[in-house]
Amino acid sequence: MNVEVEFELEEWQDRVDALRIANEHLRDERNRLKDAADSLHTELEACRVALKQANSVISRLRNHIAQGIEL
């Protein structure tokens, strides 16, 4: 191979290496964001359960107040 072809191959290899590194960084970021989303989803479900329980307690308290039951 001549010098120009070798130089061009080196340039392309450098470009491929840079893209590979960028891809790894993007993959790591995607995985980190997916983990964060999964964690938030779990927390959201826990909040929904707590809210449902709180609504149930509020409903019972309203019934007691409406019936004049002393709390």
- The rounded percent of the chain whose pLDDT value lies above 70 is 97
One DSSP character per residue, 44-68 reads HHHHHHHHHHHHHHHHHHHHHHHHT
Residues 6+ apart with CB under 8 A from 61: 71
Considering only residues 66 and 29, tell me which one the structure prediction assigns the higher pLDDT: 29
Domain count, the chain: 1
Model pLDDT, residue 70 = 74
**Which range marks the domain in which residue 51 is found?**
38-71
Show the beta-strand stretches assigned E in the chain: none
Q: Does position 5 have pLDDT exceeding 80, yes or no?
A: yes
In a domain? residue 29: no
Tokens 């450098």 label which residue? 14
Q: Does position 1 have pLDDT exceeding 70, yes or no?
A: no
In a domain? residue 30: no
Per-residue burial over 40-65, b if 16 or more Cβ lie within 10 Å, else e, is: eeeeeeeeeeeeeeeeeeeeeeeeee
Q: Structure pTM?
A: 0.66
In a domain? residue 3: no
pLDDT in tens, 8-56: 999 999 999 999 999 999 999 999 999 999 999 999 999 999 999 999 9
